[in-house]
């Protein structure tokens, strides 16, 4: 086989790999386009053209792969670095069959000024897909519902105004949220940071850092680079070996990420609260959940556990349809109600909003 033919074969494999995870219709379309293109190129002898097109398609697919579950979505864009991707500002469209809008700052939220208005208590909310709220309308997310309730029933309302800024992005793990705390949160001058997390953080850490290594991304945190060096993780390694090595250091990276969020908040003299999110799935990974709560507590982050938020409701009644494990409108309402209750009951050790002590 000639060197040129070998390169074409390699690029063809990349194109085939780019079909993984796509719908059957998308896969058929991409393969039909490839066969038609290859037939044309063989007839014309322009193998260089075929190679360039295949390599461009492979590079585009790789960039989209780095966008996690938002790969191919028009409202996500690549950023580079640990963050990897973010929401596009001022987007208006649909996601999972429901309207989705982002504000001028790239948040799935209504628009806010950079500087808080007078008499406003502003909370920065960090998290992933369960908090971003795909599949429900903007006003049905638990962030929007909790903000509305605080403005009705929160301490000092209505004279005191509450704003919750939703920085959550689908697919983000604790490492990406550490980067959000570093780079995005504090220009908005919040009085508090609320960090949501759930039982898949360690798995998500392995998957995300593996993508960063694969893509040769610039990792801006010295501690993370040091751990990768200690584990012997290098670009070009086979994915199973990368995952095996990352699995050994993932708990350390998770602990460091919690500590980094806490340290950044302390530098800005802002309290941070962790919300252990109750996923609408059968069974809880108790060992992992306890380890995550312990890591947050070790970093000095008080944790509120949303366990029990769906009690009395079949899980299928709080989830999106067709096996999607994310929350529907009822699920978001239940989470908002439980969050309000727990913030009120734990006010003295969390946000210190000024709720009256719970009645005995």
pLDDT tens digits, residue range 61-94?
444 456 778 988 999 999 999 999 999 999 999 9
Residue range 26-51: mean pLDDT, rounded: 45
pLDDT band at residue 29, thresholds of 50, 70 and 90?
very low
Cross-strand partners of 77:
86
Residue range 17-45: mean pLDDT, rounded: 43
Res 358: pLDDT: 67
CA R_g for the chain:
23
Cross-strand partners of 93:
100
Residue range 271-296: mean pLDDT, rounded: 89
Cross-strand partners of 326:
none
Asked if residues 354 and 347 have their Cβ atoms less than 8 Å apart, the reply is yes
Work out the angle at residue 348's Cα, subtended by the Cα atoms of residues 195 and 336, and round it to the nearest 5 degrees: 45
Rounded Cα distance between 264 and 266, Å, is 5
Phi and psi at 93, nearest 5°, equal -175, -150
DSSP per residue, 167-214: ---TT--HHHHHHHIIIIIGGG--SEEEEEE-TTHHHHHHHHHHHHHH
Decide: residue 350, CB within 10 A, 0-12 exposed, 13-18 middle, 19+ buried: buried
Res 359: pLDDT: 67
Preceding amide of 306 cis, omega within 30: no
CA distances from 184 to 67, 147, 273, 324 (A): 18, 20, 18, 30
Q: Which residues does 302 contact at the CB level (< 8 Å), separation at least 6? A: 273, 274, 346, 349, 350
Rounded Cα distance between 58 and 84, Å, is 18
Strand order from edge to edge, sheet including 303-305? 161-166, 120-126, 192-197, 272-276, 303-305
Residue range 33-60: mean pLDDT, rounded: 44
CA 294 to chain centre: 21
Res 281: pLDDT: 85
* The model's pTM: 0.82
Domain 76-349 CATH (choose: 3.40.50.1110, 3.30.43.10, 3.40.50.300, 3.30.70.330) = 3.40.50.1110
Asked if residues 261 and 248 have their Cβ atoms less than 8 Å apart, the reply is no
Residue 145 has pLDDT above 70, yes or no: yes
Rounded Cα distance between 227 and 249, Å, is 7
pLDDT band at residue 287, thresholds of 50, 70 and 90?
confident
Rounded Cα distance between 260 and 182, Å, is 9
Report the candidate in 172, 184, 221 with the shortest Cα–Cα distance to residue 66: 172
Residue range 327-336: mean pLDDT, rounded: 98
Residue 171 has pLDDT above 50, yes or no: yes
Q: Percent of the chain having pLDDT more than 70? A: 81
Asked if residues 125 and 100 have their Cβ atoms less than 8 Å apart, the reply is no
Asked if residues 124 and 198 have their Cβ atoms less than 8 Å apart, the reply is no
Q: How many CA atoms lie within 13 A of 38 on its CB side?
A: 13
Question: How many other CB atoms sit within 10 Å of the CB of residue 183?
Answer: 16
Q: Where are the domains of the chain?
A: 3-65, 76-349
Q: Write out the H or E segment, with its range, that includes residue 77.
A: strand 76-80
Average pLDDT of the chain? 86
Res 11: pLDDT: 42
Work out the angle at residue 301's Cα, subtended by the Cα atoms of residues 153 and 168, and round it to the nearest 5 degrees: 65
């Amino acid at each position: 086989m000639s060197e040129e033919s070998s390169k074409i074969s390699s690029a063809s494999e990349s194109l085939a790999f780019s079909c993984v995870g796509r719908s059957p219709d998308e896969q058929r379309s991409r393969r039909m386009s490839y066969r038609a293109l290859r037939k044309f190129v063989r007839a014309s002898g322009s193998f260089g053209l075929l190679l360039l097109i295949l390599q461009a398609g492979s590079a585009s697919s790789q960039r989209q792969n780095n966008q996690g579950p938002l790969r191919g979505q028009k409202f996500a864009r690549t950023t580079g670095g640990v963050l990897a991707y973010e929401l596009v500002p001022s987007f208006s469209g649909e996601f999972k069959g429901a309207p989705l809008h982002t504000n001028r700052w790239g948040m799935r939220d209504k628009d806010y000024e950079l500087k808080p208005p007078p008499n406003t208590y502003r909370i920065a909310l960090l998290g992933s897909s369960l908090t971003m709220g795909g599949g429900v309308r903007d006003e049905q997310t638990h962030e929007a519902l909790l903000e509305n309730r605080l403005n009705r029933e929160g301490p000092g309302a209505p004279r005191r105004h509450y704003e919750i800024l939703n920085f959550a992005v689908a697919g983000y793990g604790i490492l990406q949220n550490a980067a959000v705390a570093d780079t995005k949160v504090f220009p908005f001058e919040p009085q508090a940071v609320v960090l949501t997390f759930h039982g898949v953080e360690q798995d998500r850490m392995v998957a995300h850092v593996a993508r960063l290594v694969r893509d040769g991304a610039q990792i801006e945190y010295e501690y993370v680079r040091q751990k990768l060096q200690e584990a012997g993780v290098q670009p070009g390694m086979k994915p199973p070996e990368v995952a095996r090595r990352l699995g050994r250091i993932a708990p350390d990276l998770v602990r460091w990420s919690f500590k980094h969020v806490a340290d950044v908040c302390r530098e800005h003299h802002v309290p941070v609260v962790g919300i252990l999110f109750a996923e609408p799935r059968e069974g809880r990974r108790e060992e992992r959940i306890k380890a995550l709560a312990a890591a947050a507590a070790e970093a000095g982050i008080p944790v509120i556990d949303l366990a029990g938020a769906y009690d009395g409701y079949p899980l299928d009644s709080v989830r999106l349809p067709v096996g999607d494990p994310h929350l529907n409108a009822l699920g978001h309402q239940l989470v908002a109600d439980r969050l309000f209750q727990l913030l009120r009951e734990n006010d003295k050790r969390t946000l210190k909003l000024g709720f009256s002590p719970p009645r005995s």
